[in-house]
Amino acid sequence: MAADLLVVNIGQLLTLAPRHPGGNDTPRRGAALADVGLVTGGALAVADGVVVAAGPEAEVREAAGRAAEVVDAGGRVVLPGFVDPHTHLLFAGSRADEFEQRLQGLSYLEIAARGGGILRTVAQTRVMGEAGLVELGAARLDRLLACGTTTVEVKSGYGLTVEDELKLLRAAHRLHALHHLDVVPTFLGAHALPPEFARDADGYVRLVIEEMLPAVVEEDLAEFCDVFCEQGAFTPEQARAILEAGSAAGLVPKLHADELSDLGGARLAAEVGAISADHLLCASDEGLRAMAAAGTIGVLLPGTAFFLGLPYARARHMIALGVPIALATDFNPGTSPTWSMPMAIALACVGMRLRPAEAVVAATLNAAHAIGMAEAVGSLEPGKVADFVILDADDYRAVAMHFGVSLVDEVYKRGRRVYSSRTGVVPP
């Protein structure tokens, strides 16, 4: 077998290979969450954009034979590209003034009740065309790539009319086609109640179910259907109706659950067969147990807790209960204006007491599971897509320590170098 690319002299290679066959078919839980598949003195061989061998250097050289290109990692760390399974990437405008109001003591919900929050971003996003959103989105995806993210979920939700939601999802599809990153789209028509329906929540829920969902499915624009279940957003009953309708139409449910209050979102997510329940800052033990039993992934967003100054989700408790957990940025203009998965990892370690190994698995393999992409990405095993990162460090734990800065030196997507810290993003 001949490889196109051989990466050698890897000080620490994190393969995330499972300890038994088929072990990566489901997200990691409990003690297995810390299993990064660490190989010291490793190598990685790639052919046609796919991993053909990953492990100790002598074994990989033997298996791979001659390679067209050899890259010397210089004794540094190689790990799978990060998967960010929860972002609101596509929005126009900025909410810097609201940030300052919060610092002076107003809460996020108080600001929203005064006409700020999501609805302000909706107003700014509605007046931007698809091309403008694609341009903004492409520049943002460059930033994600520079932080080591190679696959990203992108939600709609700043349109809230049939046409504006379709516009956002079409923009996400264009970005998937034109950018290095893989973009996985989620329909979040139930993100907020738009001003036209301020006194008619049920009417808006009907619009979501009867007009938006069929249009999204007709154009095959989304994989997942999400709802913001919260006081001031959508009730558990409305969320259930939307997620069940989405499910019947072929969209897998996700849920913004128990972020600012406990409305029973965790249990609802488990009951409707959601692939993930996200946020969970206020989730009850009962809800978390239901998630563990159903295998619902808890997508934790420590950037949001950090930025809102709220207590972090109880990650250690979730791990102890057997909930599979993943990490994401929640990148959005109001509650988490960061696109950095390394920052999410650092916050998860310091704020939620994850071990660096657990945070890395949560940000790669389990994150891939949370968006149905684990067959392709999230670990460096033969047959999987060769998406990987070279860190400027000789110990992988450094990625969790150097908060607010990037140790990502090179990023490879499908076996091609697409980013280098010296020369930036390679044009697609």
- Give the interface with ligand NIG as residue ranges (CB under 6 A): 88, 117-118, 121, 228, 256, 259, 304, 330, 332-335
Residue closest to ligand NIG (Cβ) = 334
Which of Fe ion, ligand NIG, none is residue 61 near (CB under 5 to 8 Å by kind)? Answer: none
Query: What is the smallest separation between the CB atom of 77 and Fe ion, expressed in angstroms?
Result: 30
CB of 290 to ligand NIG, least distance (A): 21
> Least distance from C-beta 306 to ligand NIG, angstroms?
12
Closer residue to ligand NIG (CB): 280 or 411: 280
CB of residue 328 vs Fe ion: minimum separation in angstroms? 8
> Between residues 256 and 384, which has the closer beta carbon with respect to ligand NIG?
256
CA–CA distances in Å: residue 332 to residues 89, 92, 94, 113, 151: 6, 10, 10, 18, 17
| DSSP secondary structure string for all residues of 186-245 | EEEEETS--GGGTT-HHHHHHHIIIIIHHHHHHTT--SEEEEBBSTTSB-HHHHHHHHHH
Nearer to ligand NIG, 304 or 364 (CB): 304
Binding site for Fe ion (CB under 5 A): 330
**Between 223 and 330, CB nearer to Fe ion:** 330
Query: Hunting for tokens 């939601």 — which residue is that?
Result: 165
The interface partner of residue 121, options being Fe ion, ligand NIG, none and the CB cut-off 5 to 8 Å by kind, is ligand NIG
Q: How far apart are CA 112 and CA 232, in angstroms?
A: 9
Q: Smallest distance from the beta carbon of 205 to ligand NIG, in angstroms?
A: 17
Report the nearest approach of ligand NIG to the CB of residue 122 (Å): 9
| Residue 118, binding choice from Fe ion, ligand NIG, none, Cβ under 5 to 8 Å by partner class | ligand NIG
For ligand NIG, the closer CB: 332 or 340: 332
CB 334 within 8 A of CB 108: yes
Q: Say if CB 189 and CB 165 are below 8 A apart.
A: yes
Q: How near is the Cβ of 129 to ligand NIG at its closest, in Å?
A: 20
**How are the residues of the chain apportioned to helix, strand and coil, as percentages rounded to the nearest 5?**
40, 25, 40
Residue 226, contacted partner among Fe ion, ligand NIG, none, CB below 5-8 A by kind: none
Residue 82 or 158 with smaller CB distance to Fe ion: 158
**Closest to 197 measured CA to CA, from 141, 143, 238:** 238
Give least dist CB 145 to ligand NIG, A: 22
| 117, interface contact from Fe ion, ligand NIG, none, CB < 5-8 Å by kind | ligand NIG
In the complex with ligand NIG, the residue whose CB is nearer, 29 or 256, is: 256
Task: Give me the amino acid identity at 124.
Answer: Q
3-state DSSP of 152-170 = EEEECCCCCCHHHHHHHHH
Q: Which of 213, 290, 276 is nearest to 245 (CA)?
A: 213
Nearer to ligand NIG, 228 or 339 (CB): 228
Residue 163 neighbours by CB under 8 Å, 6+ apart: none
SS3 370: helix
The CA R_g of the chain, rounded to the nearest whole Å, is 21
Residue 329, contacted partner among ligand NIG, Fe ion, none, CB below 5-8 A by kind = none
Task: Select from Fe ion, ligand NIG, none the partner in contact with residue 236, using the beta carbon and a kind-dependent cut-off of 5 to 8 Å.
Answer: none
Indicate the residue among 280 and 418 with the shorter CB distance to ligand NIG: 280
Nearest-CB residue to Fe ion? Answer: 330
Which listed option, ligand NIG, Fe ion, none, makes contact with residue 179 (CB within 5 to 8 Å by class)? none
Task: Quote the CA–CA distance of 172 and 137 in Å, as a whole number.
Answer: 8
Find tokens 């204006």 and name the residue. 337
Least distance to ligand NIG from the beta carbon of 53, Å?
39
Query: Is residue 69 within 8 Å of 4, Cβ to Cβ?
Result: yes
